[in-house]
Each structure stands twice: as C-alpha cells, then as structure tokens.
C-alpha cells in the first residue's frame, strides 16, 4: 500500500499533471499557492483592482481549462504569468484607456509616510510609460522574474525584455526627476 503525498507538498508540475489526470483538488492547490502573486501582476498590469480581479479569474479559468497545453519548457509560474498577463491585456483592450489614477489628497494627511508618496508617484509614472515597458518592469523588477521567464510570459525575445526594461527605467527616472527635481534619484523623497 503506497501513501499519497499531500497536495501541499507536491511541486507545481506534479500538481498540474495530477489536475490533467483528473485529481479534483490539484488545481485548487495551484490556485491557493499562486493567486497572490498573479493578483500582484494583474494589478500592476491593469492598474485597476476590479479589472485585475476579473483578469486573474479569467486567467485561472483559462489555465484550468488549458492545463494540458502546458509543455513543460518553462516553470508553471511563468506559464501562469503569461496567461494572466494575456487576460489583463484582453480586459484592457475591451475598455477605454484611462491614464489617470484616482485622486489622493495627501496634502491633508500630514501623517502620510513618505514611502506611500513614493509608491504613488512611481505608480503614476508607470502609468505614463508604454505598456510593453510597464509589463517588462512589472515582471522583472517588481515580481522578480528572470529576463528569460519574463520573455516567456510576454511572448517576446529576451533582448526585447532587456531593452524594454532599460527604456522603461530610463523613462521612469526622467518622469520622477521632472516631477520632483531629482529628489528620488538623490535619495530623498
């Protein structure tokens, strides 16, 4: 009699294979394990919590249905990133583009911490750079994917990810410099 390894102790590939083989709980474990990271990617991509939530749902439904399309030439998380990013892009294409973030009246909040201001300024600046650069930066600099993993997730060459990241970082630095006279680049907020 063999003992079955608990779902929480199985690797992602093993869980995906179990799902494809008919295990009714395997995909739920993948979802539990990766939903927060996919939410972060979707939120950075869509910049709207409702759109991000819908895109994550769309992405995981798509992954659930197309699990047998996983070829195994990348990590399961990279495969999920690509599906969620594509779901985000599909959602964004269906709506009118908006370039403005919600208004935050930080002047009335004297207790607002400078790191919150920095995050809001960076988020606003991210909204002003081209989508390809924003997605590359979100995956590489914010989510910690390697350039190779980001390339797979975005469906582009590694060199494209590198150049988008470099151009995106340069554009962000310029936007933040223009907005704050170089304070971020000099270490002050």
pLDDT band for position 2 (cuts 50, 70, 90): very low
pLDDT band for position 7 (cuts 50, 70, 90): confident
CA distance 174 to 28: 43
pLDDT score recorded for residue 183: 52
Task: Kindly state the average pLDDT of the residues 86-110.
Answer: 61
pLDDT score recorded for residue 167: 92
Which domains does the chain possess? 9-98 (1.10.1740.10), 107-189 (1.10.10.10)
Predicted TM-score of the model (pTM): 0.61
**Tens-place pLDDT, residues 37-79:** 999 989 888 888 999 999 999 999 999 999 998 988 889 999 9
In contact, 68 and 20? CB cutoff 8 Å: yes
In contact, 66 and 27? CB cutoff 8 Å: no
Could you identify the residue written with the tokens 């909204």?
127
pLDDT score recorded for residue 188: 44
Q: Is 94 exposed, middle or buried (0-12, 13-18, 19+ CB in 10 A)?
A: exposed
* Per-position b or e across 125-150, b if 16+ CB within 10 A of its CB: bbeebeebbbbbbbbbeebebebebb
pLDDT score recorded for residue 44: 86
* 6 vs 189 pLDDT, higher one: 6
180 pLDDT above the threshold of 80: no
**Tens-place pLDDT, residues 104-157:** 444 444 445 455 566 667 777 888 888 889 888 888 888 888 898 888 888 889
* 18 vs 145 pLDDT, higher one: 18
pLDDT score recorded for residue 118: 65
Task: Kindly state the average pLDDT of the residues 77-86.
Answer: 92
What single-letter DSSP state applies at residue 102? P
* CA nearest to 81, candidates 127, 18, 146: 146
Q: CA triplet 123, 125, 130: central angle to 5 degrees?
A: 110
């Amino acid at each position: 009699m063999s003992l079955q390894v608990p779902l929480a102790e199985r690797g992602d590939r093993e869980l995906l294979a179990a799902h494809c083989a008919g295990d009714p709980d395997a995909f739920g474990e993948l979802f539990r394990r990766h939903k927060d990271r996919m939410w972060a990617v979707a939120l950075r991509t869509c910049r709207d919590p409702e759109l991000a939530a819908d895109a994550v749902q769309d992405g995981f439904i798509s992954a659930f249905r197309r699990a047998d399309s996983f070829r195994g030439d990348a990590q399961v998380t990279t495969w999920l990133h690509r599906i969620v990013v594509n779901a985000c892009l599909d959602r964004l294409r269906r709506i009118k583009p908006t370039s403005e973030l919600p208004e935050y009246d930080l002047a009335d909040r004297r207790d607002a911490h400078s790191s919150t201001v920095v995050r809001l300024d960076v988020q606003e600046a991210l909204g002003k750079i081209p989508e390809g650069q924003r997605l590359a930066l979100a995956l590489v600099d914010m989510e910690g994917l390697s350039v190779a993993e980001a390339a797979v997730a975005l469906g582009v060459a590694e060199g494209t990810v590198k150049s988008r990241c470099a151009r995106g970082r340069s554009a962000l630095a310029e936007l933040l410099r223009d907005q704050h006279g170089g304070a971020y680049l000099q270490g002050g907020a």
